[in-house]
Structure 1
Amino acid sequence: MTTPSSRPYRTPAEDPTWATVARLVDWLDAHCSDLSPEAARLLRILKITEEAGEVAEAVHGALGSNPRKGDSHTWADVERELCDVILTAMVALRSLTPDAGQRFADHLGHVAGRSLGG
């Protein structure tokens, strides 16, 4: 059985996730050709907030905290919405730099080092 710690490390260039994100950015660029590159990047960054709002809505729905809507969502809905936030942030980062995977890996290492101590 493979455990997370026994999996071979992949560099960001080897990670198929970032390759897929790059393809999504290319697809978005092709479908947003009427926007300037600066406007497209800005809108992708702002999209993160929209997606975060959908997480909040799903949490309220999973908790049934809105009496008008009741139990409108499940925790699986919250998980899907969180994935949308992560993917949207990845697309936004990749829209800013072609080295998004390395930037993220470097930042993760920095945060882990600071928080987990080495």
Structure 2
Amino acid sequence: MTAGLWTVTASIAATLNAANGAGEHERAMRLMKVTEEAGEAAAAYIGVTGQNPRKGTTHTPADVADELCDVIIAAAVALHAFTAVPPVVLDAKLHAAAGRLNAHTHTESE
């Protein structure tokens, strides 16, 4: 299912490169976009919990999920600016994280 992620984000990155260039400033902007989207996800979660008494409950869990998808997309687009092989880099990181979790889980259960 995520195989399309890399095709689509490569296309988005290419479009951004054509419009904005691919220099250091643009790389920084793409990185900051990840932070912006993460902030929107956090704000949506605050809205789910009603943590802000002035606003009350303003969001749903589906809104948080939607914002988290935006974080993933922004991160995938940004990753294209930092490596020529984003799927390989993410796959290696994913398996390394899973390996650490599995090692930690086995250590605790022994």
Q: Same fold by TM-score, threshold 0.5 exceeded?
A: yes
The answer to whether residue 99 in structure 2 is matched with residue 113 in structure 1 is yes
Deviations 1:61-114 (A, max 9, x none): 111111221111111100001111111111111111120110100111111112
Separation (CA, whole Å) in 2 of partners of 1:76 and 1:82: 10
The aligned residue for residue 3 of structure 1 is: none
The answer to whether residue 37 in structure 2 is matched with residue 43 in structure 1 is no
Deviations 1:33-62 (A, max 9, x none): 4xx611101111111111111111101111
The aligned residue for residue 7 of structure 1 is: none
Listed as ranges, the gaps of 5+ residues in structure 1 are 1-9
Alignment of 1:69-80 (within 5 A): 69-80=55-66
Runs of 4+ in 1 over 2 A off after TM superposition: none
The aligned residue for residue 16 of structure 1 is: 4
Separation (CA, whole Å) in 2 of partners of 1:16 and 1:50: 24
Provide the aligned C-alpha RMSD in A: 1.8
The answer to whether residue 92 in structure 2 is matched with residue 103 in structure 1 is no
Give percent identity, aligned residues only.
42
TM-score (norm 1): 0.79
TM-score (norm 2): 0.85
